[in-house]
Amino acid sequence: MPADSTLLLIPLFIAAAAAGWFFARKTAPSATEQRRSENLSAEYFEGLNFLLNEQPDKALEVFVRMVDVDSETIETHFALGNLFRRRGEVYRAIRIHQNIVERPELPRAQREQALRALADDYLKAGLLDRAEALLQQLADGSSTRQSEALERLVSIYEQERDWEKAIVVQDRLAALSPEGRSPIVAHYYCELAEEALKREDVDAARQSLRHARSADKGSIRGRLLRARLATEEGDARLAARLYTRVLKADGAFAPLVLPPLRRAYEAMGEEAGFAEFIAEAVHERPELQPGVAYAAIVDGGFDDPATSACIRQFVQQNPVLDDLLDILRPDRGGRDAEEKSIRRITEALRRLSGRGPSYRCENCGFAGSTLFWQCPTCKSWDTTRPVAYFRFEAVLDSPSGSGAA
């Protein structure tokens, strides 16, 4: 245990000894109280000796014996236990909170507080089964901390990827909340659908996706999974319709949605229809232009005037790319020469696009090449979006001199 943890216990022993001295002065000492005072004094010096000899674990045991858990000292115990947990000394926190729970005379509210604190200790220590048992105890009774316990159970089941249990607990939370069922439940059903698809159980996947749609009719993830399923079954028209709905719901998904949408139009033999769709989309929503350009650069299969205009604007509005265009553009040659230079830049960007992250969490900034619907860093749902730009500092900083994000 670090030396500063030893320093942490010293004032507690001083406070305990001072309390004993104070009560001895203020009350007429009986024989029992006199013996208690003598024991307190002896334990004080015993604990202090352990501290001075850098044996804080034994000192902690003495402190637990010295200070009874009652209405006047319980907050000290809670503060000490929570402080140990925050400092990463979880097993000492567990010892403190267990000592509180073991007191049969505790009022109900304080016992529930101790159980919750002990569950938090177990969570911090990674002892999920013990934490789950305590939280179930709080959640199944008439505890005033029922909602807190259920929320922590959800966190456990998400870590364990036990989506069916997470759904059950979320439904219990919905019954306690005026807001009703959380749309996060749709993600749980989508997780079940993906698991079913991995084991090639299409019927189970369809059923889970129906539940996801019921939980959140606007679920982007649910639509993407349904579009993927439609594509695999050869229903290009349904896939195109679902991808279009995703794009209308959230334009940030353009880099993810447009390539499979283009392929769906090709499967229907309607390449001209896709070109018309792009032209109409960027006309009605100019903010889609960077996403269209990025998708076209990375995919390489776009060939229509609207997309070409988006790529040209994308290049010209980026200072690095615009400077590169000036270097590559010949003194003479007009528009055709410029288009050729833009194509060279586009090809270079396409080669670099796979070297860096393609998705970024808007909540904590975590970046990666995989779309995580729950951010692995901050654990937030629905905060990760496709990246529609290239980070050229990654190119310059990489050991090989190239890289992009």
* SS3 of 356-389: CCCEEECCCCCEECCCCCECCCCCCECCEEECCC
For residue 290, what pLDDT is reported? 86
**pLDDT score of 343 more than 60:** yes
Distance between CA atoms of residues 149 and 135, nearest Å: 5
Q: CA of 379: how far to CAs of 158, 220, 223, 376, in Å?
A: 9, 18, 22, 5
Q: Which domain does 228 fall in, by range?
A: 218-397
Least confident of 18-32, 96-110, 179-193, 248-262: 18-32
At 119, list the tokens: 């569950």
Q: Comparing 359 with 51, which gets the higher pLDDT?
A: 359
- Range scoring the smallest mean pLDDT among 94-98, 166-170, 207-211: 94-98
Instruction: Decide if 187 is inside a domain.
Output: no
Pair 238, 90 in one domain: no
Ranking 20-24, 316-320, 371-375, 401-405 by mean pLDDT, the lowest is: 401-405
Asked if the structure places residue 184 within a domain, the reply is: no
Q: Which residues of 209-235 are buried (b: 16+ CB within 10 A; e: fewer)?
A: bebbbebbeebbbbbbbbbbbbbeeeb
Asked if 237 and 310 sit in the same domain, the reply is: yes
- Evaluate whether residue 329 is within a structural domain: yes
Same domain, yes or no, for 283 and 145? no
Give CA–CA dist 112/169, Å, rounded. Answer: 19
> Does some domain include residue 315?
yes
Distance of CA 251 to the CA centre of its chain: 22
Q: Are residues 43 and 150 in the same domain?
A: yes
Please tell me whether residues 122 and 246 are part of one structural domain.
no
**157 exposure class (CB count in 10 Å sphere: 0-12, 13-18, 19+):** buried
Q: Is residue 209 part of a domain?
A: no
Let me know whether 132 and 249 are in one domain: no
Residue 185 lies in a domain: no
Q: Does residue 127 belong to any structural domain of this protein?
A: yes
| 254 and 355 inside one domain | yes
pLDDT, tens only, 209-262: 999 999 999 999 999 999 999 999 999 999 999 999 999 999 999 989 999 999
Question: CATH code at 222?
Answer: 1.25.40
Give the domain-ending residue among 121, 143, 161.
161
In a domain, 208, yes or no: no
pLDDT bracket for residue 75 (50, 70, 90): confident
Tell me the C-alpha distance between 370 and 360, whole Å. 9
Q: Which of 146, 161, 176 is the last residue of a domain?
A: 161
* pLDDT for res 120: 92
Same domain flag for 247 and 378: yes
**Strand pairing category for 359-361 and 384-386:** antiparallel
Residues 323 and 239 in one domain: yes
| Residue predicted with more confidence, 111 or 246 | 246
Higher-confidence residue of 7 and 310: namely 310
Specify the number of domains making up the chain.
2
Residue in 324, 373, 103, 367 with CA at minimum distance from that of residue 221: 373
Residue 4 has pLDDT above 70, yes or no: no
178 pLDDT band, cuts 50/70/90, is confident
**Alpha-carbon Rg of the chain, whole angstroms?**
31
pLDDT at 166 over 50: yes
366 shares a domain with 243: yes
Among 138, 161, 184, the domain boundary falls at 161
CATH code at position 126: 1.25.40.10
What's the pLDDT score for residue 48? 54
Average pLDDT over residues 325-329: 61
Ramachandran angles phi, psi of 130, nearest 5°: -70, -40
Q: Calculate the alpha carbon distances from 120 to 85, 126, 287, 400, 404 in Å.
A: 9, 10, 45, 46, 41
Of 342, 344, 293, the C-alpha closest to 322 is 342
Alpha helices in 161-285 (DSSP H): 163-176, 184-198, 202-215, 220-232, 236-249, 254-267, 271-284
Average pLDDT rounded to a whole number, residues 261-289: 92
In this predicted structure, which of 99-113, 198-212, 223-237, 260-274 has the lowest mean pLDDT? Answer: 99-113
List Cα–Cα distances, 252 to 224, 272, 285, in angstroms. 14, 24, 12
Say whether both 261 and 123 belong to one domain.
no
> 105 and 224: one domain?
no
